[in-house]
Structure 1
Amino acid sequence: MLSGAMPGVAYRDGNVLRWMAAYTASVTGDVAFFLTLSWAATRTAGAAQVGAVLAVGAVPRAVLMLVGGVIADRYGPRRVVIGSDLARCLIVFCAGALMMFGTAGLPMLFAVALVFGVIDALFMPAAGALAGRLTDPDRLGQVQGLRMLAVRLGNAAGPMIAAIALTAAGVAGGFGLAGLLFSVSVGLLLAVRLNRTRPGVRSTGSLFADLKDGLQHLRRNRQLARLVVVVGLGDLCFSGPVGVGLVLLTAERDWGAAVLGWTLSAFSVGGAVAGILLTALTRVPRAGVVLACFLLATAVLVGALGQVTTAGLLIAGSAVLGMISGAASALGNALLQRKTDPRYLGRVSSVTSLSTVGLSPLLYPVTGVVTAVWGPGVFFAGCALICLLATAIAVTRSVRSSEL
């Protein structure tokens, strides 16, 4: 079903590897920033304010995500990603300086979260579009494998190094670390070049006209629109809610923080393994069918995870789930970018980003309520139903016939 690696594949491309290193640094900085922001809010105003600070950042990110896609297509994803990382670097360095001199308080944290959320709305669609402009279309699966690996590495390393910085130098040190990682990303991205065989086209119309054109492009292309829905549904629970569900599940089973740590680490390691495996493939025959199979397996695994009764099974199941769901996400995004006209990559990426990262915070309170009333098993069963819905759309003719 899957073909092996050949000389000259994307993961040996220095340009792609520089992008991967930059993206890893950016994701790690993002994780470190949010952990530091949460810690600063706790120390400044108490635990009750943490949710409010994070919500202030989540709102503009969701509201402006589609606009961010338009800007990525108008001005080029590389330029927007570099500008966004540079802006994030400056804002967190300023926040760190204010915390160092003791002149910061809760209003400053709200302002930082708000500005960071606006920048994220520009960064995320551009980052998604940039991945599709780095190499030839037949190597997009490998690029998405590297992107999955970068995300898992960043999510694993971010909390650890942020904790070290917070312990050694306090909140100012945590913000300084995040700023340093963003600056590393900017430096690497300056050496990244786009693939000229997939050129974008700048628009001279208004932002609204470009946004409308992008949505009409999705409506005209049934296969692309269904792929967007499949990717959005497939990633929806795994952009945060499943992590919260695992926290609540281990708490209900009274397994302790050590089991939780191993469970979350196993999930990240599984996703990293999926990323590594995908970088070794030159071709995925009948990729639409393979995607549907991965989504079905994800649905079965996530539903079963809520029913486990031993800590060992939970850790092992999380590792397998991380690998299968990671493979489904990477393959789905690769198909999406293969089918998308390069002129619309930013706008299409903004739609998928909105349905995952943008809207996932809305599921956090739902996760808590469902778990409190019916238990974590019901929450994981709900995630399984969402994945089954994605599977049902993936087996339609227009999606299962997709090739990579």
Structure 2
Amino acid sequence: MTATLIPPATARAHRDSNVLRWLAAYTSSMLGDGVYYLALSWAAVQAGTPAQAGVVMSVSALPRAVLMLGGGVIADRLGPRRVVIGSDAVRCAAVLAVAALLFLTSPGLWPLALLAFVFGTVDAVFLPAVGALPARLTDKSQLARVQGMRGLAIRFSSVVGAPLGGLGVAVGGASAAFALAGLLIAVSLPLLISVRMRDLPEDGAPTPGAPRTTALNDLRAGLRYIRRHRVLAPLMLAIALGDLGFVGPLNVGLALLADHRGWGASGMGWVLAGFGTGAGAASLLLAVRGRLPRAGLVIGCACATGAVAVGALGFVATLPAAVGTAVLVGLLTGLSGALCGALLQTQADPAYLGRVTSVSGLVSLGLTPLSMPFAAAAIGAWGLGPVYAVSATVCGLGGLVALLVPGLRRAELPG
């Protein structure tokens, strides 16, 4: 599929119809994901034991983690637009096929496990391409604003997707919820096809007429490019440390904290809502402002201050204090995360963007979730306070990397 190319635009991203079409497609796809995950968990619980349902829900993690780096190579070779469209088409077809199967019969767990495996495999290609696409939609000066708009779409999808899935289950069971997920993903396809791409210079791309390298060599070249880059290399380390210290306390740790404090599930929901509110405010700030000066320094300060807030969350005694702390955590980590994404987009050579985003995605979505069982075991052994303090220290180290490495600390977003 040949991309439609457009000349450089001068419109701000939030007023650019091309960017808004992409945003609508992205939001619809993310809503479909939210409905899909609820439908999958519900159907798995209904068809098997809790342990079997847990296995089904985790099936997608392995192919996503193992294949993510290869997905970045594919995104760079074929172009992110083509890969995103193809991936969404496969995801849509797989979900609708399972919806039809569940409507016609009761096949048990095997189609759910197969669907989860297909989703995880496709995600390994889809996620790097999604990360590489914004740089081909608008000027570099608008990428921070695009990251803010993307963050708002993610927050909206996380709030609306699960209730939509629950409504689908209530109306027509798991098959109806899967059908709804497939239709939402399907809505993104014509929007993505209508999105126009920019013809970006690709200094790292092969010279026309030169022999085509192997996928493995492309992967090695991408990793070597990141390792030698004065901004991307420390930025990847900062992202890894920040996510590693953040995932445990804000997932399994929060459930244990709410139970230990006697806040219950509703209290945990309020804390999560506080985090989502803060993260949404950070995304809105970037979507409106479009650019923050001294981005590298802001990342370091926000990550370091956010680490203190993460640690404090483990020691607060009352629910209102926890909600307020969660708002601060969401604001600071949301700001640093969006700026990290914008720096990845603007600092990476367009020819390497798929591989760059695949490395950051592997760290955030493939490796750091593995810390959750260790965090739970550590909380059981030593209690909430020490584990939250250690997690905060790890987060803080990510901020220190951003503050101490000159290349990253002085990094700026294009004006």
Whether the TM-score (by the shorter chain) exceeds 0.5 is yes
Alignment match of 1:336 (pick from 338, 344, 369) = 344
Alignment match of 1:177 (pick from 175, 180, 195) = 180
Q: Deviations over 1:162-186 (max 9, x none)?
A: 1111111111011111111111121
- Whether the 8 Å contact between 2:127 and 2:358 is mirrored in structure 1 is yes
Task: Determine whether 1:57 maps to 2:57.
Answer: no
Match in the other structure for 2:408? 399
- Whether the 8 Å contact between 1:76 and 1:200 is mirrored in structure 2 is no
- Whether the 8 Å contact between 2:200 and 2:350 is mirrored in structure 1 is no
Match in the other structure for 2:5? none
Unaligned runs of 5+ in 1: 1-6
Match in the other structure for 2:295? 287
Alignment match of 1:41 (pick from 19, 27, 44) = 44
Output the CA distance in 2 between the equivalents of 1:86 and 1:197. 26
Match in the other structure for 1:263? 271
Shift of 1:241: 5.7
Task: Determine whether 1:354 maps to 2:354.
Answer: no
- Whether the 8 Å contact between 1:58 and 1:361 is mirrored in structure 2 is no
Q: What is the DSSP-based 3-state SS (H/G/I as helix, E as strand, rest coil) of the residue aligned with 1:34? A: helix
Unaligned runs of 5+ in 2: 1-9, 207-211
- Whether the 8 Å contact between 1:243 and 1:264 is mirrored in structure 2 is no
Shift of 1:199: 5.5
Q: What is the DSSP-based 3-state SS (H/G/I as helix, E as strand, rest coil) of the residue aligned with 1:64? A: helix
Alignment match of 1:96 (pick from 99, 105, 111) = 99
Shift of 1:120: 0.6
Deviates more, 1:193-202 or 1:300-309: 193-202
- Whether the 8 Å contact between 1:133 and 1:199 is mirrored in structure 2 is no
Deviates more, 1:163-172 or 1:188-197: 188-197
Match in the other structure for 2:330? 322
Q: What is the DSSP-based 3-state SS (H/G/I as helix, E as strand, rest coil) of the residue aligned with 2:136? A: coil
Question: Which residue identity lines up with residue 288 of structure 1 in the other structure?
Answer: G
Call closer, same or farther: CA 1:47–1:198 in 2, change over 3 Å: farther
Match in the other structure for 1:111? 114
Q: TM-score, normalised by structure 1?
A: 0.94
- Whether the 8 Å contact between 1:73 and 1:200 is mirrored in structure 2 is no
Match in the other structure for 2:165? 162
- Whether the 8 Å contact between 1:241 and 1:363 is mirrored in structure 2 is no
Shift of 1:239: 5.6
- Whether the 8 Å contact between 1:136 and 1:198 is mirrored in structure 2 is no
Match in the other structure for 1:125? 128
Question: Which residue identity lines up with residue 88 of structure 1 in the other structure?
Answer: R
Task: Determine whether 1:247 maps to 2:250.
Answer: no
Match in the other structure for 1:365? 373
- Whether the 8 Å contact between 1:234 and 1:329 is mirrored in structure 2 is no
Question: Which residue identity lines up with residue 381 of structure 1 in the other structure?
Answer: A
- Whether the 8 Å contact between 1:231 and 1:333 is mirrored in structure 2 is no
Match in the other structure for 1:3? none
Output the CA distance in 2 between the equivalents of 1:231 and 1:198. 27
Call closer, same or farther: CA 1:213–1:269 in 2, change over 3 Å: same
Question: Which residue identity lines up with residue 389 of structure 1 in the other structure?
Answer: L
Call closer, same or farther: CA 1:176–1:198 in 2, change over 3 Å: farther
Deviates more, 1:270-279 or 1:119-128: 270-279
- Whether the 8 Å contact between 1:235 and 1:329 is mirrored in structure 2 is no
Count the aligned residue pairs: 398
Shift of 1:70: 0.2
Match in the other structure for 1:73? 76
Q: RMSD across aligned C-alpha pairs, in angstroms?
A: 1.8
Match in the other structure for 2:13? 10
Alignment match of 1:381 (pick from 389, 398, 401) = 389
Shift of 1:161: 0.9
Output the CA distance in 1 between the equivalents of 2:248 and 2:118. 22
Shift of 1:238: 4.7
Shift of 1:220: 2.2
Shift of 1:294: 0.7
Shift of 1:260: 1.5
Q: Percent identity?
A: 45
Q: What is the DSSP-based 3-state SS (H/G/I as helix, E as strand, rest coil) of the residue aligned with 1:403? A: coil
Q: Deviations over 1:296-351 (max 9, x none)?
A: 11101111011110011111211221121111100011112111000000000000
